[in-house]
Homo-oligomer: A and B are copies of this chain.
């Protein structure tokens, strides 16, 4: 790419940056937790339409995706799960096509009193924007959009088709990205600006979610017997699961990208609920677990081992032996994915383009990292033979209180994204 174009694109990003921060702030004000994404998706659809993209807005239909590889089981219907894709078709079709993907869903904000300021009233302080979802990953949706704007401001458009995706369900299943795939959206590469501090993600873990349901016979606490408490009966099961976690992290189980990490696979007891009266011995308890998997690790084998671990531990328990736990799956059945294992020329070319773009935008080399979470990249990489570059701004406390994203980082990523688009897709006059 000519230096002149690079400079013009970066200047265009700078020129629109105040507007980009305002956009991010408005987007972050939408409390788009799972099931509540509609207003945020409406906002995205309006913004895409205003920019002349063809907007496709549709409700996910489980029947259309449940047979596909990568599908994760869900409870209940998808009445409220709406994807938005805006497409700009290249006039010349001289370049490569690209998917710019981001997710609109955010995780719950938790107790409000633990936030320094309301999670859906974004504020900017000392160069950071605070708010639930600002980092994970509305800043990425903003950088994707304003990167395209930068091309437009230079009188240019990508010379290959671009699909701008704003998807739901990234935080629990990935079925939003899968539904895009099922609807026919493919491209030569995908870029997903998840907030990993301007590094390129070379590998991501698989993630499995499951619920453990414990039931038994309750009674008045006056007649409490040892071991009959469904809440406390959960404890040895948690311990057994952590022992499994330890085994799975053993050096001989690690894949190349994770060989240096002692504890890449985290087992998280993320939710618990049990009992309904303080003076009744609780007869039921449900806890929710998230477990990481290495790339290549089979979901089915993982489930089988998890079930065996739980049932073996239950059989050792006087209370649970007579009322074995039920294991329910809803949520992630996500396989791991390693861009590093994609030896195609296309992947190499995409990585090279991003490397150059990043270097030009930031003056620094593009660092790589294997992450201990999942992203929607797996759908492109595993099920559509499409290299998926996860590369986004620096954020902190994602999923936590006072989540924040660094605005200068978003600026750099936006510039790098604009440069990447111009290189990967090429440009044509608008």
Contacts and interface: CB of A to CB of B under 8 A. Distances in A.
A96 to B, nearest CB: 31
A400 B220 contact: yes
A283 B400 CA distance: 8
A100 interface: no
Nearest to A224: B266
B268 A221 contact: yes
A372 to B, nearest CB: 4
B218 A401 contact: yes
A169 B115 CA distance: 35
A251 to B, nearest CB: 19
A285 B223 CA distance: 27
A400 B219 contact: yes
A276 interface: yes
A279 B290 contact: yes
Nearest to A204: B222
A274 B277 contact: no
A114 interface: yes
Interface string A267-296: 011111111111111111101111010000
Contact of A171 (B269, B279, B283): B279
Q: Which of A278, A331, A332, A398 has its CB near the most chain B CB atoms (within 10 A)?
A: A278
A391 interface: no
B229 A268 contact: yes
Contact of A268 (B136, B171, B281): B281
A123 interface: no
A63 to B, nearest CB: 25
A107 interface: yes
Interface string A199-240: 000000001010000010111111110000101100100100
A372 B272 contact: no
A95 to B, nearest CB: 34
Contact of A238 (B232, B282, B332): B232
Given A290-B221, A399-B220, A275 B283 contact: no
Interface of A: 107-108, 110-111, 114, 136, 171-172, 207, 209, 215, 217-224, 229, 231-232, 235, 238, 266, 268-285, 287-290, 292, 331-332, 371-373, 397-401
